[in-house]
Amino acid sequence: MLNLNDLVLFAAAVEDGGFAAAGRRLGVPKSTVSKRVAELEAGLQARLIHRTSRSFSLTEVGRDFYEHARAALIETEAAEASVRRRVAEPSGSVRITASVPTAQLYLAEHLPRLALRHPKLQLQLDVSDRFVDLVQEGYDIALRSHFAPLPDSGLVQRALAVETIVLVAAPAYLDAHGAPDAPVRLADHDGVLTAAGASVWTLHHRDGSRLQVAPRARMSANESVALMRAACAGLGIACVPEGFCREALSDGRLRRVLPDWNAGRVTTTLVMPHRRGLLPGVRATVEFLADCLRAAPAPDA
């Protein structure tokens, strides 16, 4: 069986063009490199290198041997790296920032399971709707929900989930006022709006067409849970990300309105500085969240 260290010395001598240069790079005496390569040749019973005081070149057998030796070293390095990645237990603190809706919809449920899985990992979640500068404020990860693509900021971006914004209302409201059979009918209905000035909804059909409608303003709230609960209370029709109202739709507290239409989609993207993704704790958190959000029910078309 060949000594793997001899392969390392032989490959270094070939790549550096001599024993002295290889020894300098590896931090070993030239004589050690020369002796180990000679013993390698003796073990193989083949001359691998033509060497004189003025020249250093591979024999034909040496060229073939070098190609295989280099491939073996590459595979060895890959095997070592794979094991080191797996045995490196995630530990230390991971600072996460997210908006209120994102924290409620995704992180509140999933982060405790991650903490239980990795006892040495300390998760620090800061819930805020303000803009956060990850680099300046020392955050490892941000989860950002957005309608338009995020600007190119030099940060790593990884889209995790896309939520359809659906129109919903309480059965009692629809029984009392009737369910609209076309978007234009929404003008005759009460609406729960995202802001006092956001009186117009832009709706998208399955076929790609879109139009704008203006329901009667009944209440406004700039937070999705408040919107959903107002709709459940029978105040009118609301536009809510499907994830927030999935349970209420399932148990009958809410019903879809105009199911062939939606009010757009909101994307949740994980953002982090490049260097933070190299830390085992951050990497474990990123992969865990990606798996959790991929497992979420797919949005309607």
pLDDT tens for 68-80 read 988 888 888 878 7
Lowest pLDDT segment from 12-16, 168-172, 213-217: 12-16
- Number of Cβ within 10 Å of residue 144's Cβ equals 17
Q: Which two tokens stand for residue 266?
A: 């909101």
Spans of all domains in the chain: 4-87, 92-160+267-294, 163-265
Beta carbons of 13 and 22 less than 8 angstroms apart = yes
| pLDDT for res 236 | 96
May I ask the CATH architecture of the domain 163-265? 3-Layer(aba) Sandwich (3.40)
pLDDT tens for 84-110 read 666 677 888 899 999 888 898 889 989
Q: How far is CA 217 from the centre of its chain?
A: 38
C-alpha pair distances (Å), 39 with each of 6, 59, 103, 128, 207: 9, 16, 63, 66, 74
Top-confidence residue, 197 or 168: 168
Q: Do 92-160+267-294 and 163-265 agree at the fold level?
A: yes
DSSP letters spanning 186-255: GGGSEEEESSTT---EEEEETTS-EEEE-PEEEEE-SSHHHHHHHHHTTS-EEEEEHHHHHHHHHTTS-E
DSSP 3-state of 271? strand
Confidence band of 128 (pLDDT split at 50, 70, 90): confident
May I ask the CATH architecture of the domain 4-87? Orthogonal Bundle (1.10)
Beta carbons of 227 and 238 less than 8 angstroms apart = yes
Confidence band of 179 (pLDDT split at 50, 70, 90): very high
Beta carbons of 261 and 204 less than 8 angstroms apart = yes
CATH 3.90.700.10 fits 92-160+267-294, yes or no: no
70 burial (CB, 10 Å; 0-12 / 13-18 / 19+) is middle
Cα–Cα distance measured from residue 184 to residue 236, given in angstroms and rounded to the nearest whole number: 16
| pLDDT for res 73 | 87
Lowest pLDDT segment from 47-51, 56-60, 84-88: 84-88
Element spanning 58, H or E: strand 56-58
22 burial (CB, 10 Å; 0-12 / 13-18 / 19+) is buried
pTM confidence score: 0.62
Cα–Cα distance measured from residue 62 to residue 40, given in angstroms and rounded to the nearest whole number: 11
Cα–Cα distance measured from residue 73 to residue 164, given in angstroms and rounded to the nearest whole number: 49
Q: How far is CA 235 from the centre of its chain?
A: 38
Cα–Cα distance measured from residue 240 to residue 101, given in angstroms and rounded to the nearest whole number: 11
